[in-house]
Structure 1
Amino acid sequence: MEADQIKGACLCGIGEYIVITCSGACDLGLIADTVARKLRDNKVRKMNCLAAVGADVKPTIEAFKAANLLLLDGCPVDCGKKILEKAGISSFKYVRLTDLGYEKGKTPVTEEVINAVYEKVETIY
């Protein structure tokens, strides 16, 4: 592909199964982001960019509406969920880490925690 053809194009993954995450500044945001990347690396889902929805990137929004979308939010602020709903995306699977028993600001970012969350979301289809 010529460089001018991809200029300005997002290099995020688009496909039938997509994971996006609120990668917030707290411990749960980091865990959610790491789990999403692990889903991507293990080829369970393609990872894409929640910020593109917030930036009103229409092709991304339309792709998300057609995809099997999994959103990982860390805490009850629900930033990711609010961004999707504001963009008119209503069909998605949703996991909030605090609903799994993790506490914002008090959860260590360890392989054990990351693997435990991964195991809970890996089979969501």
Structure 2
Amino acid sequence: MSIKRWRLFMYTCFGGCSTGVSASKALIRLWEENPEDIKIACLPAVIIPGKFNEMLKSADKRLLVDACSLRCGAKLFEREGMSIDCYIELTSRLKIKKEKILPSIDLQEDVYQVIKIEVESLLQT
């Protein structure tokens, strides 16, 4: 069985804060809008050698979104040697503080727009 090749894998920390929840929703929305080109990939699976190799073979590019300045996803990628084509850390990018609450509709839309711009750029190249 051959593995489908995606143009873009998207990863996020799915953090328990407003930016993490917003990122999760944004990635789901973007996948729904581009089901043939992009897919959400499992961030924790990066530590599993077989999945790591499958991820490398299954996508042309990788985008990683961290919800906050702890940079959990980036640290995991660095530790495992996974390359990324685009990295977004939301609290710094949006100049906001991490809040352990559900996100507002406005924050969800802001996060979606930030990620969408990067996704569109990655898909154009």
**TM band (smaller chain):** 0.7 to 0.9
What runs of 5+ residues in structure 2 fail to find an aligned partner? none
Q: Normalising by structure 1, what TM-score?
A: 0.76
Alignment partner of 1:26 is 2:26: no
What residue number does 2:84 align with? 91
Among 102, 109, 113, the alignment partner of 1:115 is 109
Question: TM-score, with normalisation over the residues of structure 2?
Answer: 0.76
Contact 1:14–1:48 (8 Å) recurs in 2: no
Q: What is the number of residues matched between the two proteins?
A: 113
2:43 maps to 1:76: no
- Unpaired runs of 5+ in structure 1? 6-12
What is the alpha-carbon root mean square deviation over aligned residues? 2.3
2: CA distance between counterparts of 1:52 and 1:106?
Answer: 25
Tell me by how many angstroms 1:96 deviates.
0.7
Q: Letter of the 1:26 partner, please give it.
A: C
Q: With a CA cutoff of 8 Å and minimum separation of 6, indicate the structure with the bigger relative contact order.
A: 2
Partner residue in 2 for 1:104: 98
